[in-house]
């Protein structure tokens, strides 16, 4: 009889210990699950933070209006001066203002990544303002907040542009105005637009689409304006 009581008591102790272990393990798994979910949400926020920041800024401030793009001060006017008058781009509507790095090979990642730490890239062998050719400029759509700081995000808001919106290119101290005529989303491997042939001088801007991904490409095409 005592043996049976001891056996019964041991069985109860084992069962109790088992239940405790199950509860502890469940608590650990729940904690790990919640931690992973939290880390995933934080990672998503950090990845898309640059996009969200610019979108929020655009939503609060709205499109830039009433500014004049010029190298000189104009009395009574809010003037936007280019960051680089030797080769620079200004898009007033989305408050984009950047240096342009000339003659960058768009097929060599190391080369264009380096260029994009200094400004918007001008595709090698494409035109320059005043030459009557297609001028191809591209910027990086960074896939995380770290690279967004390293590689410019000047073109994040390109999709806000509409027909007749103005884009200014400064080249060797001269100002050239272009007006948006077309906007399209194309496949990531649609490289034919780099050497796009045109009977009139035009400007092609490219960035990744959607912002923060490399899934497709967003193109904004603008033509030289005479007024």
Per-residue confidence (pLDDT) for residue 7, from 0 to 100: 47
Chain centroid to Cα 79, Å, comes to: 26
Among 120, 157, 156, which Cα is nearest to 139's?
A: 120
Provide the CATH number for the domain formed by 63-224 in this structure. Answer: 2.40.260.10
Contact residues for 91 (Cβ-Cβ < 8 A; gap 6+): 97, 161, 165, 166, 167, 168
Q: What is the pLDDT of residues 46-90, one digit of tens each?
A: 556 666 677 677 778 777 777 788 877 787 788 889 999 999 999
Per-residue confidence (pLDDT) for residue 34, from 0 to 100: 83
Q: Which of 13-27, 119-133, 205-219 has the lowest mean pLDDT?
A: 13-27
The whole-angstrom separation of Cα 113 and Cα 135 is 19
Q: Output 1 or 180, whichever has higher pLDDT.
A: 180
DSSP state of 118: T
Distances (CA, A) of 176 to 38, 132, 182, 194: 49, 12, 18, 20
| C-beta of residue 118 within 8 angstroms of C-beta of residue 149 | no
Distances (CA, A) of 206 to 22, 69, 131, 165, 168: 56, 22, 20, 16, 16
Q: Output 167 or 110, whichever has higher pLDDT.
A: 167
Among 167, 178, 179, 184, which Cα is nearest to 219's?
A: 184
* pLDDT confidence bin for 128, thresholds 50/70/90: very high
Q: What percentage of residues in the chain have a pLDDT greater than 70?
A: 81
| C-beta of residue 112 within 8 angstroms of C-beta of residue 131 | no
Contact residues for 178 (Cβ-Cβ < 8 A; gap 6+): 166, 167, 168, 169, 202, 203, 222, 223, 224, 225
The whole-angstrom separation of Cα 225 and Cα 206 is 20
* Mean pLDDT (whole number) for 187-200: 83
Is pLDDT above 50 for 145?
A: no
Is pLDDT above 60 for 1?
A: no
Per-residue confidence (pLDDT) for residue 153, from 0 to 100: 72
Residues 193, 120, 210, 59, CA torsion sign: negative
Among 217, 184, 203, which Cα is nearest to 126's?
A: 203
């Amino acid at each position: 009889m005592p043996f049976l009581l001891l056996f019964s008591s041991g069985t109860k102790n084992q069962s109790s210990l088992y239940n405790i272990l199950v509860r502890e393990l469940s608590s650990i798994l729940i904690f790990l699950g919640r931690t992973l979910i939290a880390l995933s949400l934080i990672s998503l926020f950090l990845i898309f933070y640059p996009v969200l920041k610019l979108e929020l800024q655009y939503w609060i401030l709205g499109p830039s209006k009433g500014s004049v793009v010029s190298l000189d001060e104009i009395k009574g006017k809010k003037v936007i001066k280019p960051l680089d008058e030797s080769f620079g781009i200004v898009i007033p509507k989305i408050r984009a203002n950047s240096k342009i790095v000339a003659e960058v090979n768009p097929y060599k990642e190391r080369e264009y990544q380096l260029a994009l730490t200094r400004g918007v890239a001008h595709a090698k062998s494409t035109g320059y303002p005043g030459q009557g050719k297609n001028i191809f400029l591209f910027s990086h759509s960074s896939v995380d907040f770290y690279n967004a700081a390293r590689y410019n995000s000047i073109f994040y808001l390109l999709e806000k542009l509409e027909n007749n919106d103005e884009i200014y290119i400064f080249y060797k101290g001269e100002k050239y105005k272009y007006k948006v005529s077309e906007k399209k989303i194309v496949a990531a491997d649609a490289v034919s637009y780099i050497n796009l042939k045109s009977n009139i001088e035009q400007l092609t801007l490219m960035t990744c689409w959607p912002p923060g991904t490399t899934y497709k490409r967003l193109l904004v095409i603008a033509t030289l304006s005479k007024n």
